[in-house]
């Protein structure tokens, strides 16, 4: 499967944004701090997410990002696709040239698995993830262990 850190980090960052939705615009520095993702990497991901209108940016003091739509309308598959990732378990990337420039013996098996994974991720929304108890516990732990948002924003501004 070709789901790289790009797709994983995009889903993680979007879930963080969804969890903090309603607190006003969320800075990438705050997401980076809570999730342990590089700020410059998040900037690249959010540029792609913004192009797909999954997030909206707010400029100026107190600015940051908000969800582009409601959390129940954004699927995990959509987030992964927005950052140019695909969920493909075939060896050939779906090009049907796995063996001697032709389809291999098990190509359809892996292609079907890719379809099932995509279907599964298409049915899971950010809202579904936010409702999971394990997600709520981790989010609470991150909040309890993190410095105040204001302190985190001041650190980001000082850089």
DSSP string covering 23-55: SS-B-HHHHHHHHT--HHHHHHHHHHHHHTTSE
Find out whether 66 and 25 touch, Cβ atoms under 8 Å. yes
**pLDDT digit string (tens) for 145-156?**
755 444 444 344
How far is 159 from 147, CA to CA, in rounded Å? 17
Q: Which of 71-85, 98-112, 118-132, 136-150 shows the lowest per-residue confidence on average (mean pLDDT)?
A: 136-150
Contacts of 22 (CB under 8 A, 6+ apart): none
Assign 124 to helix, strand or coil. coil
Contacts of 105 (CB under 8 A, 6+ apart): 99
Q: How far apart are the first and last CA of the chain?
A: 37
pLDDT of residue 2: 62
How far is 68 from 101, CA to CA, in rounded Å? 42
- Single pTM value for the model: 0.83
Q: What is the mean pLDDT of residues 96-121?
A: 89
**pLDDT digit string (tens) for 22-79?**
899 999 999 999 999 999 999 999 999 999 999 999 998 889 999 999 999 999 999 9
For 12-156, list the strands marked E by DSSP. 55-58, 64-67
């Amino acid at each position: 499967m070709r789901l790289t850190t790009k797709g994983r980090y995009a889903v993680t960052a979007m879930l963080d944004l969804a969890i903090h939705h309603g607190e006003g615009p969320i800075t990438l520095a705050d997401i980076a701090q809570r999730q342990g993702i590089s700020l410059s990497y998040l900037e690249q991901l959010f540029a792609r997410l913004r192009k797909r209108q999954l997030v909206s940016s707010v400029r100026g003091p107190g600015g940051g990002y908000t969800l582009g739509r409601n959390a129940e309308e954004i699927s995990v598959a959509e987030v992964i696709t927005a950052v140019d990732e695909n969920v493909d378990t075939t060896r050939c990337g779906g090009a049907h040239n796995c063996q001697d420039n032709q389809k291999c013996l098990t190509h359809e098996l892996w292609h079907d698995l890719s379809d099932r994974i995509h279907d599964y991720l298409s049915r899971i929304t950010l809202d579904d993830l936010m409702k999971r108890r394990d997600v709520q516990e981790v989010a609470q732990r991150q909040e309890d262990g993190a410095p105040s948002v204001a302190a985190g924003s001041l650190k980001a501004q000082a850089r």
